[in-house]
Amino acid sequence: MKIGIIGLGLMGGSMALALRNKGLATQLVGTDNNALHAAQALERGLVDQVVPLEDLMALVDVVVLATPVDVALPLAQTLLDQTQGHILLDMGSTKANLVSAIQNHPKRGRWVATHPMWGTENSGPLAAVQGAFQGKACVICDRENTAPDALTWVENLYQNLGMHLMYMKADEHDMHVAYISHISHITSFALANTVLGKEREEEAIFELASGGFESTVRLAKSDPNMWVPIFLQNKENLLDVLNEHISQLRKFKACLEKENKEYLQELIQHANGIRRILG
């Protein structure tokens, strides 16, 4: 199979490495609207060649869309317009807007809406990681709208990369990722801004920062070009979670103000229940 990848950053680049490592592509062709990223991807050998977007479809059997989700939205429709039986998939972190944008397209069946649940706070082709997807979950949304051959090929692809598949409606997916991914990024960004406000006064305090601090603010390094469109596309779900999170923080605030030791103990014991999930 000749495979094209649009967007050679963290996700697209890691997909390229995985496809090559597993011998799943006879040829890898990439495209990226950032000339530096395109050159870096070639130099790292992520893809065999880089071509302009308009030349890609003619050269490949499968197209993997790995751009930020705002770019993916119009591109998905263009790709469907041009497809001659390709298998088309995207790797975006929001799914409802995408499946809604393509739902009435006559070639809708060629599209597989996927979200491999892996990422880091880094971006660009140099951030791509070998073995990235191994052992993680991959969500496939609205599979009933995808042609059986395209669905089967993409299922096999992700299983070959060591992922276990989960199936959801796109709306359900977007609500879930608001809870277990998007809110974590918001809190990290906000926490970074909280402490960076203080940094102006006294730089030395950060010598004190140990593992706990790094852990909670690591995601604050993440790329705005990736995350702004995700947050805006998942706005409604994210606002629900954010409101709930602020109300949870206010409980801690009230406990401190009233020195309510018992309730503070209770809140923390409840939070300890996260061990059930994280192990």
Q: Show contacts with a copy of itself in window 41-80 (CB under 8 A).
A: none
Nearer to a copy of itself, 17 or 238 (CB): 238
Query: Smallest distance from the beta carbon of 177 to a copy of itself, in angstroms?
Result: 7
Query: Smallest distance from the beta carbon of 93 to a copy of itself, in angstroms?
Result: 11
By CB under 8 A, residue 216 contacts a copy of itself? yes
> What one-character-per-residue DSSP string does the chain give?
-EEEEE--SHHHHHHHHHHHHTT--SEEEEE-SSHHHHHHHHHTTSSSEE--HHHHHHH-SEEEE-S-HHHHHHHHHHHHHH-SS-EEEE--S--HHHHHHHTT-TTGGGEEEEEE----S--SGGG--TTTTTT-EEEEE-GGGS-HHHHHHHHHHHHHTTPEEEEE-HHHHHHHHIIIIIHHHHHHHHHHHHHHHHHTT-GGGGGG--HHHHHHHGGGGS-HHHHHHHHHHTHHHHHHHHHHHHHHHHHHHHHHHHT-HHHHHHHHHHHGGGHHHH-
Angle separating helix axes 183-199 and 224-233, nearest 10 degrees: 130
Query: Smallest distance from the beta carbon of 47 to a copy of itself, in angstroms?
Result: 25
Letters for 132-171 (x = contact with a copy of itself by CB under 8 A, - = none) are ----xx-x--------------------------x-----
| Residue 211 CA, distance from chain mean position | 25
Nearer to a copy of itself, 8 or 183 (CB): 183
Query: Smallest distance from the beta carbon of 133 to a copy of itself, in angstroms?
Result: 10
Nearer to a copy of itself, 106 or 262 (CB): 262
Q: Please, what is the end-to-end C-alpha distance for the chain in angstroms?
A: 39
Q: Show contacts with a copy of itself in window 237-276 (CB under 8 A).
A: 238-239, 241-246, 248-253, 255-257, 259, 261, 264-265, 267-275
Q: Which residues pair with 164 in a beta bridge?
A: 137
Query: Smallest distance from the beta carbon of 117 to a copy of itself, in angstroms?
Result: 5
Pick the stretch among 71-79, 82-90, 105-113, 198-206 that binds a copy of itself (CB under 8 A).
198-206
Query: Smallest distance from the beta carbon of 171 to a copy of itself, in angstroms?
Result: 13
Pick the stretch among 23-31, 54-62, 145-153, 234-242 that binds a copy of itself (CB under 8 A).
234-242
Query: Smallest distance from the beta carbon of 78 to a copy of itself, in angstroms?
Result: 22
Tokens of 185: 């990024």
Q: Which residues pair with 111 in a beta bridge?
A: 88
Pick the stretch among 6-14, 39-47, 99-107, 215-223 that binds a copy of itself (CB under 8 A).
215-223
Q: Show contacts with a copy of itself in window 171-190 (CB under 8 A).
A: 176-177, 179-181, 183-190
Q: Show contacts with a copy of itself in window 85-124 (CB under 8 A).
A: 117-121
Instruction: Tell me the HSE value of 186 on the side-chain side, using a 13 A CA sphere.
Output: 22
Query: Smallest distance from the beta carbon of 73 to a copy of itself, in angstroms?
Result: 14
Nearer to a copy of itself, 58 or 256 (CB): 256
